[in-house]
Chains A and B, each alone.
Chain A
């Protein structure tokens, strides 16, 4: 299946990546060739196969819900492009 420009626009919206028209053209070409490549899998009948969801046999372990390191707000905010003393800052969401 080929990926048309409308589909590219839709998935780029879902992925939150803005694209100009030239990029959309190129991506439509690239993604179509990649999808064509991965559709080779359709040659294989997998009706009775259980999907592999994890390479490790054991199920994920539980652990106690406890605080091991706290009071690290400064560290968490350290790399933020825009912040106040205590918060991340984003463009205004509510008028």
Chain B
């Protein structure tokens, strides 16, 4: 029998609409895979019984409305789901049952999808290897003891291992694109303001965006269409028309101009990544694209800027975890002691580091030297992109400076871990859309991705370019299910 878990969501939707198979058959196939996947540790919460009920109800009603009819979807555990445990990978939210549904997940359900489960992630999305989760490391299906990237590591691992047909994650500095690159999948961070942040556990509010992780570019367009849109409940969501990204998807990209930024050619980058980048350039030329060398001169300042802005916002956002209103609570002889013990026991090491950095850079006497300085440099980084987009339609770079690394390899050196996001962080600081698409393998047979960066709200352009690349790359996700 055909293995339905190999299908793209576009093919699953068509199959369900044509009655080639039922939603129940699809759901059962993914549940079967997910039940034999404990070694990957991708799921925090499994909603399989409820998903089967939803699938059966869908088949009984026999109406295929919406963009995602009868499709089961597991989501990163950063999205609040009504009456389903939402942990953000943290002990402090270990027992949290939201009484409301995030706008973005609600949009998926309104399009006919239903929840398959909640996926593991770095604690509060702070990490690049999924090693900071209270619920343990996630493994990359491409190899035992290999990290899946982070922070959406559970999402990327579950997708690549066929434990969910598609998924959504959040991206503050690369948390969708880096794990997509590490697992041979497609991951897109939309323009800041494209998707509502309402009901998503907040990390750094001026950088956070939700976005899709999928097997193909076509799936990415479909899921982005379903999850995008203005929401009055998020004051930074932007009231702009949402395109039908799928209907407008075309590989006709002739005469577009693509910029190649010289600052992204960093020292110590493996030659394979450089080769892959050249291959991407050649494929785009083949599609009729004009290639132009550009400069983004402040690129080297993006990571230091990010590690002021993001922890500052995090220290403020995470002040809400006080052991009073929800979440974990420790004992204390008085109110202050209760706060201090709750937060000491509830947060892991990386989250503590970032809260303390954030508190330090915002503290009296240091604000101008760090936070204000970072906001000024952020302006310069954004202006680099503004200027570049006067001359080019999109920018092509590698997604990451290396392929997936071994567990524990960078765990004890925070700065070396941070360097992983060197190509993804500038995009968040500038609020731009960017996509990572699987493009090849390194010598250890681990996947590598290329990143396309677009103008604000021009996700269509980078999707079209990605489609042109996807056709030419002919990337195959070669995974043996060794974990079963």
A residues contacting B by CB (< 8 A) are 3, 7-8, 11-12, 14-19, 23, 27, 30-31, 33-35, 37-42, 44, 46, 49-56, 58, 60-61, 63, 72, 75-76, 78-82, 88, 90-93
Check B359 for interface membership: any CB of A closer than 8 A: yes
Contact between B353 and A30, CB atoms less than 8 A apart: yes
Contact between B377 and A44, CB atoms less than 8 A apart: yes
Interface of B (DSSP majority class): helix
From B162-170, B172-180, B333-341, B389-397, the one touching the partner chain is B333-341
Check B370 for interface membership: any CB of A closer than 8 A: yes
Contacts A37-B304, A79-B96, A80-B324; A49 near B379 (Cβ below 8 A): yes
Residue of B nearest to A37 (CB): B415
Counting chain A CB atoms within 10 Å of each CB, the highest count among B235, B322, B356, B360 belongs to: B356
Contact between B415 and A56, CB atoms less than 8 A apart: no
Check B89 for interface membership: any CB of A closer than 8 A: no
Contact between A52 and B301, CB atoms less than 8 A apart: no
Q: What sequence of 0s and 1s flags, for each residue 89-127 of chain B, a beta carbon within 8 Å of any chain A beta carbon? A: 000000111010000000000000000000000000000
Contact between A79 and B333, CB atoms less than 8 A apart: no
- What are 15 contact pairs spanning A and B, CB under 8 A? A7-B360, A15-B359, A16-B336, A18-B343, A18-B344, A19-B344, A27-B352, A34-B414, A38-B361, A41-B305, A41-B308, A50-B379, A79-B326, A81-B328, A90-B335
B residues contacting A by CB (< 8 A) are 95-97, 99, 192-193, 206, 232, 235-236, 238, 298, 300-301, 303-305, 307-308, 315, 322-329, 332-341, 343-344, 347, 352-353, 355-357, 359-361, 363, 370, 372-380, 382, 413-415, 418, 430-431
Contact between A49 and B431, CB atoms less than 8 A apart: no
Residue of A nearest to B306 (CB): A38
Counting chain A CB atoms within 10 Å of each CB, the highest count among B232, B332, B360 belongs to: B360
Contact between B206 and A91, CB atoms less than 8 A apart: no
Contact between B235 and A60, CB atoms less than 8 A apart: yes
Contact between B376 and A46, CB atoms less than 8 A apart: yes
Q: Indicate which residue in B235, B301, B333, B414 contacts A40 across the interface (CB closer than 8 Å).
A: B301
Q: Which residues of chain B come closer than 8 Å to A93, judged between CB atoms?
A: 334-335
The CA-CA distance from A61 to B322 in the complex, in Å, is 30
The CA-CA distance from A55 to B382 in the complex, in Å, is 9
Contacts A18-B344, A34-B357, A90-B324; A49 near B376 (Cβ below 8 A): yes
A67 to chain B, nearest CB (A): 15
Contact between B326 and A80, CB atoms less than 8 A apart: yes
B284 to chain A, nearest CB (A): 28
Contact between B343 and A88, CB atoms less than 8 A apart: no
Q: Which residues of chain A come closer than 8 Å to B322, judged between CB atoms?
A: 16
Contact between B375 and A17, CB atoms less than 8 A apart: no
Contact between A56 and B380, CB atoms less than 8 A apart: no
Residue of B nearest to A93 (CB): B335
5 A-B pairs closest in CB distance: A51-B375, A79-B326, A55-B431, A81-B329, A18-B340
Q: Which residues of chain A come closer than 8 Å to B353, judged between CB atoms?
A: 27, 30-31, 34
